[in-house]
Amino acid sequence: MMNAASDAERLEAAIQSVYEARLRRYPDGAFGWRLLYSPRRVLSGARVAFIGLNPGGRCVDPTHGEFSAEAGSAYRKEVENWGRSSSLQDQVMALFNRLDVEPEDVLAGNLIPFRSPSEDSLLGSSEAIAFGRTLWTEILDKACPSVVVSMGGTTNREISRLLMVRDTRTYPIGWGNYTASRGNFAGGTWIGLPHLSRFTIMKRSASQAALNELFKDLY
């Protein structure tokens, strides 16, 4: 298992070093960084991991932690106020409720720690993704979650490859022809969801039957 305190310091230093290099290379395209939306203790072990692509926006809220959210899960509105993005907090909290896990116990974070206004505007995206793969290969190997949920096309592709997911099936989500994915990796189950800020399926009545099948036996 990972020693949360010492390994957090090492990972934080590595991220800061790469960010400073990006700041020199892309002075107009560096907007800060953020890794975890949960307390750093989850690095020592977590049953559930939830991974998105990268933090959004151009501005850093000084009340939000960079490396981790020590006040509690950032997906709790009483911990952080995301304003227009609060619907994403609602969706993720509904996901955690479905998985019967306390938000603070989830290994929740960003594949890429570097902030950008959108995925398309992330400069040096290939190198940023490669760095994210390195980070999360170590994090997941040490935390050993048995359920890994990722969100969004790029993140789903990268995490499923990283975990060497097999036996992947697609499931309708009750939203037109859109689907989610489920597969197995050594030691657990992977779920790949569409981005919950756009596809608000977790609290949508028309999607519940599909979600019951997708998450069967995971809670």
How far is Cα 2 from Cα 210, in angstroms, rounded to an integer?
Answer: 36
Structural domain contains residue 9:
yes
How many structural domains are present in the chain?
1
Q: Residue 219's pLDDT band (boundaries 50, 70, 90)?
A: confident
Return the pLDDT at 97: 98
Q: Residue 59's pLDDT band (boundaries 50, 70, 90)?
A: confident
For 30, phi then psi, to 5°, come to: -115, 120
Return the pLDDT at 3: 58
Q: Is 11 helix (H, G, I), strand (E, B) or coil?
A: helix
| pLDDT per position as a tens digit, 91-120 | 999 999 999 999 999 999 999 999 999 999
Residue 125 has pLDDT above 90, yes or no: yes
Sheet holding 147-151, edge to edge: 107-110, 48-52, 147-151, 188-193, 179-185, 166-172
Q: Residue 133's pLDDT band (boundaries 50, 70, 90)?
A: very high
Q: State the average pLDDT over residues 63-83.
A: 94
**Residue 133, domain CATH:** 3.40.470
| pLDDT per position as a tens digit, 16-46 | 999 999 999 998 888 999 999 999 999 999 9
List the domain range (segments joined by +) for residue 115: 4-214
Structural domain contains residue 113:
yes
How far is Cα 204 from Cα 161, in angstroms, rounded to an integer?
Answer: 29
- The label of the residue with tokens 């890794």 reads 35
| E strands, the chain, in order | 48-52, 107-110, 147-151, 166-172, 179-185, 188-193
Q: State the average pLDDT over residues 138-148.
A: 98
Structural domain contains residue 45:
yes
Structural domain contains residue 98:
yes
Return the pLDDT at 7: 87
